[in-house]
Structure 1
Amino acid sequence: MEELMKILELHLDENMLQAVVSGAKKSDIPSKIKIRPVINKEILKFQTTISDGKKELHKNIEKREIKEQLQSWMATDYKQLQLDTIAYAITVLVSKKGKLTIKKKRWDKPKEAAPLQHNRKKKYVLPEGVPVPFLVDLGVMTPEGKIVNSKYDKFRQINRFLEFVEDILPQLKRSGEITIIDFGCGKSYLTFAMYYYLKILQGMDIHMIGLDLKEDVIDKCNELAGNYGYDKLEFYMGDIASYEGVDQVDMVVTLHACDTATDYALAKAVKWGADVILSVPCCQHELNGQIHNDILEPVLKYGLIKERMAALLTDAFRAGRLEEEGYNVQILEFIDMEHTPKNILIRAVKSGVPKKVKNLAECMELVGARPTINKLLNAKEEA
């Protein structure tokens, strides 16, 4: 290990980009450990990041300690260390017999050094420090563009949602007007954010409609849209199930539509042939009163467990039915669990190729589930 210690002594400095320890020799240790240099109170340290599958654990340690730790990891627990600096890519391999091999290759072109701040500022779709009118009026930003401390989670949520929107831009047509409907828009943080991002920042021709049942909220949102000159952003009071204001929609968004209201929104999106569906379901009560299975009784007898299983099954069945209607579907984490329990986002992009999801109907039958999405889409097909 003497050669390894020389490498570490030489390259563990501010010119290091990152190091990754991998190839765990045991099943009860982390599969991968990441290391990067940071400046903490004007002292160069090395931050280790270890994931336990649920959360990441960070620890800042000094050079002497990280050298000893890396030597220990490579001697007993791991097979590979990849150490990248601005000048070199260094690979350390450990064979089954403990033989050490070190490969050091100079980059064709030197890399740019990484920022060393302890907490690096995240790059947001809507950056901090740039005033956005609707965020100021909604109390998320100050007029100078500073994020209000109590609204920082909301600011993160808005940007996280816009990252999902950014991902699906290639699926939206680039010529002609794009119609987007937001069912259950509420105070419309995300509705305004989508319009601002797509219309103002991306320059797309969009017509966006927000729908909600609260008259005072709709009046306020229309007032704000008028103040900003958002002439193609409209808000109406109405119910998801009965809304018939348009004949064709390119994108349907439904955020925290309660219980089966999500199903009606998804069914509407399928009926319109929407190219993109973004849905964050809420309050999935329906299946909680339906699901039963004798074999699962030891699990389902606990109310909290049954409630969570019912919610997960509800969204899985929704995703499966959308696949059968010709959509490529992903279930994604919207925001961290500590901010809200409503953290699943269903993202569906139209492929135009319906496919039978193996055992989906049998799975519903197994647990006694009769989800509304099934009834609505079956009725559409029969019609």
Structure 2
Amino acid sequence: MQPVVRSGEPALSAEAGALGVVRAALLEQSGLVRAVASGRRRRFDPPAYQRVEVRYVDLKGQRHLQITEFDERQAHTRNVAGAQPDFAGAGAGVAGGEIEKAVDELLGLAYGSWHVETTSETLRLRYTKKGKELLHRQEDSREQETGHDRVKQRVLDPAAPFLIELGISDHLGRVKPSRQAKYKQIEEFCKLLAPALDEAIAAGRIATDRPLQVVDLGCGNAYLTLAAYHLLSAAGHDVRMTGIDHNPAARKRNARVVEALGWQDHLRFVDATIQAAELDVRPDVVLALHACDTATDDALARAVGWEAPLVLAAPCCHHDIQKQLKSVTPPAPYALMTRYGIVRERFADVLTDSLRAAVLRQVGYRVEVVQFVDSQHTPRNLLLRAARTGTKPTAELQAEYDALVTEWQVNPRLAQLLLLEPPPAGVGL
């Protein structure tokens, strides 16, 4: 019998097994919000796709199970037809037939973790190195919608004490109107953090027999630092969190908040620049939210130097490449892309993050570039999600990168830090 672990409770026995619990949630078409499978189980052949996302959508008056499978380069989406939806909300019931067959096929693949969000709870299933099932169940009383146009769910309760201490929520646990954008940014960042961590653990890149080491580089006022600590601790992880920033006023303020929350034993702040930060142990996860311009490159380089298994970075401004493009002759026939300032600026954003992803792939990381929040909350809404695999770069990858930087005559900061010479680890081992 495999253990089922609820937040704050000892291990319980699952009558139908952990995978059976996940299966029931996937088939509940009126309750499933989203499910993500990733990683792979040890001693099993890897699935054909790196990750799969599942949810229900209504298309032409009929409910479908939408399955999106991701490989190294793109997403492949297919829709499996099911029952007629109950638009009156009177219980659409459990899916059957072709949908049930599709779900069973997905569960039969050797994914190492499942992250399932429903209208009532969040399930996190992962497999240990020995093949043991571990299922965490967190009840969720927050309102969620399962409509196909928009999926709304909250992983950060607005009434969480840390949000009140930070001044994002008021004393009644409601997000302040002036802080909605900041709340949305950190919440959407955390939505991508949780399944990415599950995948890294399932793949054996992060050990579970010791505390989880997380570092937030350029943490500033520590919104993400505190949110990540809250989220991961609630999921059952024994977290050791470090926020790094070279701002004495912010550090003192952050320390006061941590003490008020009683988290000072597991969460600390270090006064240092990103380049000069020293750690006692290697981090498992490195975060960076809106580190300005080349500070994002510094954060990525430090993560690589530490050989961090998982890195999530949301870049901010991209002035470095923008300036370089002003003084180069664009390759034909792309002169129009740099003629106008606003177009050049946006193109520089895309070029910068594309080059960052290419550099990370050359030093042994699998990289995804995704939108983590709608542009109405911040125009800087791309996220680089990188998982260390140790894979050597192919000749094709190196040739593509060399051709791109040569044609555009740019010298990316991250390439200077990582490809010219290895960065220092900065870990006292």
When the two structures are superposed, what TM-score results if normalisation uses the length of structure 1? 0.68
Match of 1:211 in 2: 244
The structure having more radius of gyration, on CA atoms, is: 1
1: CA distance between counterparts of 2:146 and 2:273?
51
Pick from 271, 274, 278 the counterpart of residue 244 of structure 1: 278
Deviation at 1:366?
Answer: 0.7
Matched-pair contact (CA < 8 Å) for 1:252–1:277: yes
How many residue pairs end up in the alignment?
Answer: 294
Matched-pair contact (CA < 8 Å) for 2:255–2:268: yes
Matched-pair contact (CA < 8 Å) for 2:293–2:316: yes
When residues 82 and 235 of structure 1 are mapped into structure 2, their CA distance, relative to the original with a 3 A threshold, is same
Match of 2:301 in 1: 267
User: Secondary structure of 2:414's match?
Assistant: helix
Match of 1:375 in 2: 416
Pick from 146, 165, 187 the counterpart of residue 221 of structure 2: 187
Matched-pair contact (CA < 8 Å) for 1:87–1:107: no
Structure with more contact order per residue of length (Cα contacts < 8 Å, sep ≥ 6) = 2
Deviation at 1:339?
Answer: 1.8
Deviation at 1:251?
Answer: 1.1
Matched-pair contact (CA < 8 Å) for 1:88–1:107: no
One-letter amino acid matched to 2:249: D
- 1:1-383 matches, within 5 Å, as 34=59, 84-85=84-85, 86=92, 122-128=152-158, 131-170=159-198, 171=200, 172-199=206-233, 201-230=234-263, 231-291=265-325, 292=328, 293-295=330-332, 296-356=334-394, 357=397, 358-381=399-422
CA RMSD of aligned residues (A): 3.5
When residues 359 and 156 of structure 1 are mapped into structure 2, their CA distance, relative to the original with a 3 A threshold, is same
2: CA distance between counterparts of 1:381 and 1:156?
36
Task: Show structure 1 runs of 5+ residues with no match.
Answer: 1-15, 18-31, 38-79, 91-103
When residues 203 and 288 of structure 1 are mapped into structure 2, their CA distance, relative to the original with a 3 A threshold, is same
Match of 1:28 in 2: none
Matched-pair contact (CA < 8 Å) for 2:216–2:243: yes
1: CA distance between counterparts of 2:292 and 2:340?
23
1: CA distance between counterparts of 2:207 and 2:368?
21
1: CA distance between counterparts of 2:94 and 2:219?
51
1: CA distance between counterparts of 2:189 and 2:180?
14
2: CA distance between counterparts of 1:380 and 1:366?
23
Deviation at 1:382?
Answer: 9.6
Structure 1 range deviating more: 358-367 or 342-351: 358-367
Matched-pair contact (CA < 8 Å) for 2:215–2:285: yes
1: CA distance between counterparts of 2:222 and 2:193?
16
1: CA distance between counterparts of 2:172 and 2:184?
18
Report percent identity of matched pairs.
Answer: 31
Deviation at 1:276?
Answer: 0.5
2: CA distance between counterparts of 1:140 and 1:250?
28
Matched-pair contact (CA < 8 Å) for 2:166–2:257: no
Matched-pair contact (CA < 8 Å) for 2:217–2:299: yes
When residues 106 and 234 of structure 1 are mapped into structure 2, their CA distance, relative to the original with a 3 A threshold, is closer
- Listed one character per residue, the Cα deviations across residues 143-194 of structure 1 (whole Å, up to 9, x for unaligned) are 3322223322322222211111111122143221222111111111111010
1: CA distance between counterparts of 2:151 and 2:319?
39
One-letter amino acid matched to 1:371: P
1: CA distance between counterparts of 2:145 and 2:352?
44
Matched-pair contact (CA < 8 Å) for 2:296–2:315: yes
- Listed one character per residue, the Cα deviations across residues 78-108 of structure 1 (whole Å, up to 9, x for unaligned) are xx99762447989xxxxxxxxxxxxx99999
